[in-house]
């Protein structure tokens, strides 16, 4: 044992002596560097032999050496300060990241707690102490929370309907008794009565031509576009229609941010487990339960891109079988979902029209051909002239009655073959000169629009004129007008030859305006 102790003492002594030599050497070197007393002794020993030039160099050398050491010391201090600052910032960032992580965990925890409290509030009239204790349990019980949350969701499905507005409509129509509808009228009488009602009861004046086109447009498509300058009564026309039918129109103010169908129908909120229902959704759902004529107004419809938020509706209403007019609101159904929302799908009824107003200015988007082709456009560029009308009350009219009159008009006033031949000749002329075709969809709408227009008191050529002006010749605006100016003049002459002098007023006015553009 004594041998080990002697060796260990020698080993430790050697190591300690080495450390002491490092410390003493470091501090000894620093002492020698800054030993001012020794420097003065040296200076005193040599200054006796100094001449003037020696004194000058000695002073300069002393200043230079001191400046170098000052710079070295300053750089060392600056480096130490930067290192300390770097370490502080790094430690601070690490602390901040850790604090953010802790806050994120707290937020997630609070979110879970809020979801469970909301589920309990939805399913119960009050939250008991036991429920709150179950919500604020410890982290060791996290595995059991998944099953409990699932149970809460099942309870919410059983106790809280996610479509509260649609559920209220079901309750409203549970003991619904249909009103007594007016039946003995013709389309011409309907147009006249509506025009007189708008004048006598609402102070709105519309030309007979506008009313005829309006009702004929309702027969040919579910989307009507009323365009023109502000203040001409575009929004008032469908609003007055709702008042006339004693079933007020639903007015929707389109917003610039609209980009998809959720702006129209709403969306399911996963947090609250409820569907955010819009007035459009409510109106469409209710329209399935009645035989009224329902109107939804898309005010300033082109302040956002129509082909974005209305795209699905445009596609659905193109389907020939109306039983396929459905939109999926939610992927699955709950037991307490509304009665007429089978499988989470909403049926788009035939007794609802979507009437949009459009201004053409710098604040709006241009409406695409896709929308124009599927809609019926009516230009209202001037205010109606005031006229005297007898006091006309509103009329409760069923959709089925109007639809029957539309079908009757198509049978009794079909577009004669002579006019179809004229249209075919015009189609070939336009294709040859302008590379623009009519299309099957336009012809299908024309064959419905014109007969109803005639039944409303108009004539065949005027009905064809309106369709061609709004459906075909409108497309010329996108062509290079400077290159087709002469062809436009030839087209005007061809229209006068084909249909009669100045018979196609709307089309010729449009073409002449395009001529004047360049």
pLDDT at residue 491 in the model: 94
Does the residue 184 lie in any domain?
no
Does the residue 227 lie in any domain?
yes
In this structure, of 17-31, 126-140, 147-161, 277-291, the range with the lowest mean pLDDT score is 126-140
Say if residues 447 and 480 touch (Cβ distance below 8 Å). Answer: no
Say if residues 298 and 354 touch (Cβ distance below 8 Å). Answer: yes
Same domain, 332 and 197: yes
Give 74-116 pLDDT, tens digit per residue: 888 888 888 887 777 666 666 776 777 777 677 777 777 766 6
Same domain, 17 and 58: no
Give 181-194 pLDDT, tens digit per residue: 998 999 999 999 99
Task: Give the dihedral of Cα atoms 141, 143, 144, 147; nearest 10 deg.
Answer: 160
Same domain, 356 and 430: no
Residues 6+ away with beta carbon under 8 Å from 267: 275, 276
Say if residues 377 and 225 touch (Cβ distance below 8 Å). Answer: yes
Residue 462, Cβ neighbours under 10 Å: how many?
19
**Rounded CA gap, 500 and 464, in Å?**
13
Give 290-344 pLDDT, tens digit per residue: 999 999 999 999 999 999 999 999 999 989 898 899 999 999 888 889 999 988 9
Same domain, 114 and 60: yes
Q: Is 353 helix (H, G, I), strand (E, B) or coil?
A: strand
Quote the Cα angle for 397-245-324, to 5°: 70
Same domain, 288 and 205: yes
Does the residue 455 lie in any domain?
yes
Provide the number of structural domains found in the chain: 4
User: How many Cα neighbours within 13 Å face the side chain of 408?
Assistant: 12
Segment 254-262 mean pLDDT? 93
Q: CA nearest 134: which of 146, 148, 121?
A: 148
Q: Is the pLDDT of residue 143 over 80?
A: no
Does the residue 513 lie in any domain?
yes
Does the residue 320 lie in any domain?
yes
Does the residue 396 lie in any domain?
no
* Residue carrying structure tokens 């929004």: 235
> How does DSSP assign 476-506, residue by residue?
GGGS-TTTSHHHHHHHHHHHHHHH-TTT-HH
Same domain, 352 and 460: no
Q: What does pTM read for this prediction?
A: 0.70
Same domain, 340 and 237: yes
CATH number of the CATH domain containing 270: 3.40.50.300
* Cα distances (angstroms) measured from residue 106 to each of 85, 111, 113, 343: 31, 8, 10, 38
* Residue carrying structure tokens 């939109």: 327
Selected residue with higher pLDDT from 143 and 273: 273
Give 25-65 pLDDT, tens digit per residue: 877 777 777 777 777 777 777 777 777 787 787 788 878 88
Q: What is the mean pLDDT of the chain?
A: 85
* Percent of the chain whose predicted confidence (pLDDT) is above 70: 88
Q: 451 lies in which domain range?
A: 413-517
Say if residues 172 and 284 touch (Cβ distance below 8 Å). Answer: no
Q: Is 242 exposed, middle or buried (0-12, 13-18, 19+ CB in 10 A)?
A: buried
> How does DSSP assign 291-333, residue by residue?
-B-EEEEEETGGGS-HHHHTHHHHHHTT-S-GGG-EEESSSS-
Say if residues 244 and 295 touch (Cβ distance below 8 Å). Answer: no
* Cα distances (angstroms) measured from residue 495 to each of 356, 486, 487, 499, 505: 31, 15, 12, 6, 10
Residue 366, Cβ neighbours under 10 Å: how many?
14
In this structure, of 72-81, 200-209, 416-425, 488-497, the range with the lowest mean pLDDT score is 72-81
Q: Is 211 exposed, middle or buried (0-12, 13-18, 19+ CB in 10 A)?
A: buried
Same domain, 205 and 348: yes
Q: Is the pLDDT of residue 145 over 80?
A: no
Same domain, 235 and 277: yes
Same domain, 218 and 256: yes
pLDDT at residue 42 in the model: 75
**Rounded CA gap, 414 and 447, in Å?**
7
**Rounded CA gap, 161 and 295, in Å?**
27
- Cα 51 vs. chain centroid, distance in angstroms? 94
Same domain, 470 and 492: yes
Say if residues 217 and 367 touch (Cβ distance below 8 Å). Answer: no
Same domain, 258 and 324: yes
Say if residues 292 and 247 touch (Cβ distance below 8 Å). Answer: yes
Does the residue 403 lie in any domain?
no
Selected residue with higher pLDDT from 102 and 375: 375
**Rounded CA gap, 320 and 327, in Å?**
16
Does the residue 408 lie in any domain?
no
């Amino acid at each position: 044992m004594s041998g080990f102790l002697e060796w260990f003492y020698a080993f430790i002594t050697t190591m300690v002596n080495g450390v002491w030599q490092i410390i003493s050497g470091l501090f000894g070197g620093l002492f020698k560097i800054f030993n001012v007393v020794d420097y003065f002794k040296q200076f005193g020993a040599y200054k006796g032999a100094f001449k003037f030039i020696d004194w000058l160099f000695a002073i300069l050398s002393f200043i230079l050496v001191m400046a170098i050491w000052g710079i070295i010391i300053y750089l060392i201090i600056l480096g130490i300060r930067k290192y300390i600052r770097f370490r502080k910032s790094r430690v601070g960032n690490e602390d901040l990241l850790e604090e953010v992580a802790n806050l994120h965990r707290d937020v997630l925890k609070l979110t879970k707690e809020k979801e469970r409290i909301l589920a309990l509030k939805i399913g119960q009239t009050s939250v008991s102490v036991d429920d709150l204790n179950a919500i604020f349990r410890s982290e060791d019980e996290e595995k059991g929370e998944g099953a409990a949350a699932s149970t809460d969701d099942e309870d919410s499905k059983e106790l809280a309907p996610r479509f509260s507005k649609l559920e209220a409509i079901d309750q409203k129509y549970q003991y619904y008794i249909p009103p007594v509808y007016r039946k003995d009228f013709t389309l011409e009488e309907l147009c006249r009565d509506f025009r007189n009602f708008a004048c006598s009861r609402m102070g709105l004046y519309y030309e007979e031509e506008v009313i005829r086109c309006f009702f004929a447009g309702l027969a040919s498509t579910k989307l009507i576009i009323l365009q023109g300058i502000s203040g001409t009564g575009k929004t008032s026309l469908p609003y007055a229609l709702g008042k006339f039918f004693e079933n007020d129109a639903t007015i929707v103010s389109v917003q610039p941010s609209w980009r998809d169908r959720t702006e129209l129908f709403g969306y399911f909120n996963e947090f609250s487990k409820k569907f955010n229902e819009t007035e459009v959704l409510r109106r469409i759902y209710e329209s399935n339960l009645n035989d009224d004529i329902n109107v939804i107004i898309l005010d300033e419809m082109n302040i956002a891109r129509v082909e974005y938020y209305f795209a699905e509706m445009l596609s659905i209403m193109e389907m020939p079988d109306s039983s396929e007019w459905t939109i999926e609101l939610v992927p699955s159904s709950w037991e307490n979902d509304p009665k007429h929302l089978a499988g989470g799908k909403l049926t788009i009824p035939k007794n609802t029209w979507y009437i949009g107003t459009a201004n053409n200015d710098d604040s709006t988007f241009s409406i695409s051909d896709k929308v124009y082709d599927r809609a019926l456009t009516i230009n209202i560029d001037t205010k109606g002239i005031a006229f005297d009308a007898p006091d006309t009350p509103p009329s409760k009219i069923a959709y089925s009655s109007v639809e029957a009159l539309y079908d009757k008009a198509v049978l009794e006033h079909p577009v004669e073959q002579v006019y179809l031949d004229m249209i075919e000749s015009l189609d070939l002329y336009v294709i040859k000169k302008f590379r623009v075709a009519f299309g099957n969809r336009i012809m299908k709408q024309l064959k419905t629009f014109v007969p109803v227009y005639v039944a409303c008191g108009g004539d065949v050529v005027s009905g064809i004129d309106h369709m061609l002006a709004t459906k075909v010749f409108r497309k010329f605006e996108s062509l290079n007008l400077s290159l087709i100016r002469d062809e436009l003049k030839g087209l005007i002459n061809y229209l006068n030859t084909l249909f009669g002098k100045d018979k196609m007023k709307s089309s010729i006015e449009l073409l002449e305006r395009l001529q004047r553009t360049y």
